[in-house]
Structure 1
Amino acid sequence: MINESALLESKTLRGSVLDRTDVLDRVKALSLLPDGMHVTTAMVAAYFEVTVKTLESVVEDHRSELEASGYQVLTGKRLALFKGASGIQSRSKALALFSRRAVLNVAMLLRDSEVARQVRVYLLDMEYLARTQPVENPAHTTPMSLDDRIDQRITHILGKTVVPMFNALIETSGEHRRELVALRTDVQRVEKRLRQHHARLERLEGTRDDRSAVGVMASMDAMNGRAFEQHIARLLRRDGCTNVVVQGGHGDRGVDITGRTADGRRLVVQCKRFAPYLNITSPDVQKFVGAAKVLYSAEVALFVATCPFTPDAVRIAAETGITAVHRGLLEAWSAGEPLKVLE
């Protein structure tokens, strides 16, 4: 696996990427408690689509590591103060809380969660690519070759994570020789999987040979949810829409942006900045249909996503008058091609 084995087995490697908590929202939206900082055990289990018992087992096995990442159990006065400050209603005498760092730590410990696996892949496939991209000189922009980008990713992983582990093992004693050999084998597997994943990303993002790797979609993939909504609002204004208001967040009733088209029609937009290998499903579209048509009486409704739509989602969108702006259409729109529904 693409260093999944290394993340699962190496505490050192896990610690080196714990600050990349933004990856959690890129794979799947993580709901937080009212304090905006913590989640409960049940919420973490729901995010990773595992049982509470499974999560509790992970905590039991790695408690000290998770506590260092921000996991804590509140009791007594501390629990009472937290309930009062956050407005949480609970009769429990103890409350386990996870910080975002702790949730990311769990993602690197859960073996049997598909969501956790996607987080690990995204960490070592997308984030390392973003870190190694050079700053472009507008006057001298030279597209990177495929081999150059792959070499940079491999170099980063070897130089920043695996090699330091090798050195630490060598410096200890001969009892770690077997582990060192195993890690060397993992490095070879990493290189192979990096090439496979890069080819997959090329297909998903439609990267052309005549375009820099840091293109329209790559920049959107690096945005957080709020920045993505603002980007879509700018596109709407560019295409003549008026009264454009970004209202995404808690209490938005399923609509992130409202406004008027150039000819005065009521406009609502739902924005989903998901990882490119995920999909917008029919329940996602059905939920937006209710908000757009019933709550807002929209005449033009856009569901904008950085990922594909499932066939069922496309069918429901077409039947209900929703314009599905999938990854490919979004790229063309961002590059200057107007949406026909706005004309």
Structure 2
Amino acid sequence: MAALAAAGAAIWALITIVQVTVAFVLAHHTTILAFVFVALLVAGVTGITRAVAGHERRLLRERVHAHARLEKVDAMTGTEFEHFIADLLRTTGFHDVSVTGRSGDRGVDITASSPTGTRVAVQCKRQSGPVRADRVRNLVGAVHCTYLDHHPVLITNASFTGPALGEASGLVTMIDRERLRAWFAGSPPKLEK
């Protein structure tokens, strides 16, 4: 008898829960449908955004790979080289990459943050002859005056003079033609302090 009473109470509780749920859904069906619609919309937009971002990353890698040859770099203009280096930084995990522009760049062509958070100030020199010491001094001055929390990096498709390397010693990360070639081959240089 007690088992029958317990079963009846359980059935009564289940019926009551179903009735309350149905009443709630009927009373609030518009709100529930709106919530479901918004949740599906957010999920769809998130999926599309992720797909587009993945597609853009693939296109960027393909564009960089297509130009990651020194003979192509040698044929670029200075501005094209700056944008290429910015893309190269992005493909190696740098974020907040910004090409500063020609006028008023104060000796810095690109600013970026490394995957570990170190901020870098990059000067790009696409030229046929070696980079001289005055270019290193310009970059060091720019970092000490305007880009205080950035580590200076000088990237060229050429080489550096002995005095330029001396000026940079311990202060500036220097990327010359050979280090650039290694970067193209999949060995990115350490651009942090």
% identical equivalent positions? 38
Output the TM-score relative to the length of structure 2.
0.61
CA contact (8 A) 2:131 2:158 kept: yes
Query: Any stretches of 5+ residues in structure 1 without a counterpart?
Result: 1-213
Moved over 6 A (4+): none
CA contact (8 A) 2:68 2:184 kept: no
User: How far apart in 2 are the matches of 1:272 and 1:226?
Assistant: 10
Indicate which of 283, 299, 315 corresponds to 2:150: 299
User: How far apart in 1 are the matches of 2:153 and 2:162?
Assistant: 17
* Residue 109 of structure 2: aligned partner: 256
User: How far apart in 2 are the matches of 1:322 and 1:215?
Assistant: 23
User: How far apart in 1 are the matches of 2:175 and 2:167?
Assistant: 14
Query: Any stretches of 5+ residues in structure 2 without a counterpart?
Result: 1-66
Cα RMSD (Å) of the superposition? 1.9
How far does residue 341 in structure 1 lie from its aligned partner after superposition?
2.9
**Any idea what the Cα deviations from partners look like across 1:131-157, whole Å, max 9, x if unmatched?**
xxxxxxxxxxxxxxxxxxxxxxxxxxx
* Residue 232 of structure 1: aligned partner: 85
**Which residue type is aligned with residue 295 of structure 1?**
T
User: How far apart in 1 are the matches of 2:149 and 2:189?
Assistant: 17
User: How far apart in 2 are the matches of 1:253 and 1:245?
Assistant: 14
CA contact (8 A) 1:265 1:299 kept: yes
* Residue 149 of structure 1: aligned partner: none
* Higher CA-based Rg: 2
* Residue 281 of structure 1: aligned partner: 132
**Which residue type is aligned with residue 341 of structure 1?**
L
* Residue 118 of structure 2: aligned partner: 265
CA contact (8 A) 1:239 1:342 kept: no
How far does residue 294 in structure 1 lie from its aligned partner after superposition?
2.2
Task: Pick closer, same or farther for the CA change 1:253–1:215 going to 2, 3 Å.
Answer: closer
1:290 paired to 2:146: no
How far does residue 274 in structure 1 lie from its aligned partner after superposition?
0.1
Count of matched residue positions in the alignment of Structure 1 and Structure 2:
127
**Any idea what the Cα deviations from partners look like across 1:305-333, whole Å, max 9, x if unmatched?**
111101111111114x1011111111111
How far does residue 248 in structure 1 lie from its aligned partner after superposition?
2.9
Output the TM-score relative to the length of structure 1.
0.35
How far does residue 299 in structure 1 lie from its aligned partner after superposition?
3.5
How far does residue 300 in structure 1 lie from its aligned partner after superposition?
2.1
User: How far apart in 1 are the matches of 2:178 and 2:82?
Assistant: 17
Indicate which of 181, 185, 189 corresponds to 1:335: 185
CA contact (8 A) 2:157 2:176 kept: yes
